[in-house]
C-alpha cells in the first residue's frame, strides 16, 4: 500500500497530472461545474473562451457545406464507455473536405438530450460524428433527433449494448448524409469538445434538419447512457462565425444536471413592484374638507316667541 502511494505521488510530481484524470461525469461533484477542478488538463473547461455547446441562432447559418465522402460500414464496434455510446469508424476510410482541408472520420457518439440548443430549444438526442485532419484539426458534425413514430433508416436495426460492447451490423453513413442533404442547411461556429478536456479550436457543423427516432430506441439509448449533456456555454467572444452574446444568456442546467433552465432574471426584466398598474395614493383625489360647505348657524332664523301674537286679556 505504501509503495503504491509513493508511486502515485511520484507520477503526479514528475508528470504534473492527476492520477485519474478520466474520472468525470455529468452529475454531482464530478459534473460539468467541477470538471476544471478534477485535473489540470481540464482547466480550459472553465478558462476557455470558445467553449461548446452553445445556443445556436439563425445568424449562425452558413451556406457552404463540406464535401462528404462518407462510406457505409459493417460490423462496427459499438461501445458503452461510461459517458456515452460510441461507434469506432476509424477503419472505414470515410472523409470530408472543408475549406480545402480533408478530415477523416474517427467515431460517432450520442448525447441525450441534445447539447446544442436552437433558439433556446433542445432536442431529444444529438449525434456527433468526430473527424480529424492529418494536422490534428478537429471538425465535428452534429445531427439532432426527435422522438417520432418510426426511426430513420440510419438507426434501424440498432442493438444497444447493455454492458460494454457489441457490433453494429451495418452503419449507413452515406445514407445519413443523404438524409440531411449533405448538411446543405447548417449552423457553424468555432468551439470546443463538449467533454473533458474541452479542447478548443474545433469546427462545428450542425445540421438544421432534424431526423426521427422511435420512442422504443430512444428509451433504450436513454436507459444505457442517462443524462449526458453539458449545459450550453456563453457564446464565444470574437467568434467570426456568429455574433457575440452577453455572458450567461444561454440556459444552464441545475446542479444535478437533470434539465437546463434559464438564469434568474435573464429571460425578461422584472417590473418594479407595483408599477404594472398605477396605484392612486391614499387621499390624493381632492376631498372637501370637513364642514367645508357653509352651514346655517344654529337658530340663525329669527325665532318667534311663544305667544307673540297680541292676545285679549281676560
Give catalytic residues, as residue numbers. Answer: 83
Is the alpha carbon torsion for 216, 176, 236, 20 positive or negative? positive
Q: How far is CA 172 from CA 39, 47, 71, 131, 289, in A?
A: 37, 38, 7, 17, 89
Three state DSSP letters for 208-251? EEEEEEEHHHHHHHHHHHCCCCCCCCCCCCCCCCCCCCCCCCCC
Q: How far is CA 127 from CA 8, 180, 192, 242, in A?
A: 37, 13, 16, 22
Vertex 77 angle, CA 72 and 83, to 5°? 115
Q: Please name which of 127, 101, 123 lies closest in space to residue 114, comparing C-alpha atoms.
A: 123
On whether the CB atoms of residues 126 and 145 are closer than 8 A, the answer is yes
Other CB atoms within 10 Å distance of the CB of residue 77:
16
On whether the CB atoms of residues 125 and 144 are closer than 8 A, the answer is yes
Pairing of strands 138-148, 200-214: parallel
C-alpha cell at 27: 452529475
Amino acid at each position: 500500500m505504501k509503495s503504491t502511494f509513493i508511486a502515485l505521488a511520484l507520477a503526479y510530481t514528475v508528470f504534473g497530472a492527476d492520477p485519474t484524470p478520466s474520472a468525470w461525469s455529468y452529475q454531482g461533484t464530478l459534473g460539468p461545474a467541477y470538471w476544471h477542478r478534477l485535473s489540470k488538463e481540464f482547466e480550459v473547461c472553465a478558462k476557455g473562451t470558445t467553449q461548446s455547446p452553445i445556443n445556436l441562432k439563425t445568424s449562425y447559418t452558413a451556406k457552404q457545406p463540406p464535401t462528404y465522402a462518407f462510406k457505409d460500414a459493417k460490423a462496427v464496434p459499438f461501445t458503452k464507455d461510461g459517458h456515452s455510446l460510441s461507434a469506432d469508424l476509424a477503419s472505414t476510410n470515410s472523409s470530408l473536405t472543408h475549406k480545402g482541408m480533408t478530415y477523416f472520420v474517427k467515431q460517432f457518439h450520442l448525447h441525450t438530450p441534445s447539447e446544442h440548443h436552437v433558439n433556446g430549444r433542445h432536442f431529444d438526442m444529438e449525434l456527433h460524428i468526430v473527424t480529424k485532419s492529418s494536422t490534428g484539426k478537429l471538425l465535428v458534425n452534429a445531427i439532432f433527433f426527435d422522438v417520432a413514430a418510426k426511426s430513420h433508416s440510419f438507426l434501424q436495426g440498432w442493438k444497444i449494448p447493455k454492458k460494454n460492447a457489441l457490433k453494429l451490423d451495418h452503419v449507413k453513413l452515406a445514407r445519413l448524409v443523404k438524409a440531411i442533404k449533405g448538411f446543405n442547411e447548417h449552423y457553424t461556429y468555432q468551439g470546443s469538445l463538449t467533454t473533458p478536456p474541452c479542447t478548443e479550436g474545433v469546427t462545428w457543423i450542425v445540421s438544421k434538419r432534424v431526423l426521427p427516432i422511435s420512442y422504443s430506441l430512444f428509451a433504450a439509448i436513454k436507459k444505457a447512457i442517462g443524462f449526458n449533456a453539458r449545459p450550453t456555454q456563453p457564446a464565444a467572444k470574437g467568434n467570426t462565425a456568429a455574433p457575440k452574446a452577453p455572458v450567461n444568456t444561454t440556459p444552464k442546467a441545475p446542479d444535478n444536471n437533470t434539465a437546463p433552465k434559464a438564469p434568474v432574471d435573464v429571460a425578461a426584466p422584472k417590473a418594479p413592484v407595483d408599477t404594472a398598474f398605477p396605484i392612486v395614493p391614499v387621499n390624493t383625489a381632492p376631498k372637501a374638507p370637513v364642514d367645508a360647505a357653509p352651514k346655517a348657524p344654529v337658530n340663525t332664523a329669527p325665532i318667534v316667541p311663544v305667544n307673540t301674537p297680541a292676545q285679549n286679556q281676560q
